[in-house]
Amino acid sequence: QLEESGGGLVQPGGSLRLSCSASRTIFSINAMGWFREAPGKQRELVAAITKGGDTKYADSAKGRFAISRDKNTVYLQLNNLKPDDTAVYYCNANRRTTGWDVARPYDDWGPGTQVTVSV
């Protein structure tokens, strides 16, 4: 029900734009966002945004990444990418009005898109 696109291989300092669209069967979405999971690490928040426009960014994303949303489509602009940004990026959608920036296994998740930052 969530479809992601935009991952790929990019050199350090480069940019990518991730997109995620929710199907019409996902109703009453409040928050949409992006989490990432690197090998050997836990899944972590990158950025999330509510339908009211509230945003939450990981410290590592502030100043480099920008999240935006149009109804049930969320975008993540990744700028000045670093090798540490290499991970699988997962789109998330949930209906919570509190704790909407915390990953829950029962949320709606996309299949993930690989972002690799390497020379």
Taking a C-beta distance cutoff of 8 angstroms, is the pair 2, 91 a contact? yes
Kindly report, residue by residue over 47-66, the tens digit of the pLDDT: 999 989 999 999 999 999 99
Q: pLDDT category, 117, cuts 50, 70, 90? A: very high
Supply the pLDDT for residue 17.
98
| Beta bridge partner(s), residue 116 | 9
Per-residue confidence (pLDDT) for residue 27, from 0 to 100:
61
Cβ atoms within 10 Å of 84's Cβ, excluding its own: 10
Across residues 6-24, what is the average pLDDT? 94
CA distance 37 to 75: 18
Closest CA to 91 of 13, 11, 15, 21: 21
Coil vs helix vs strand at 12: coil
What pLDDT is attached to residue 24? Answer: 62
Does residue 1 carry a pLDDT above 70?
A: yes
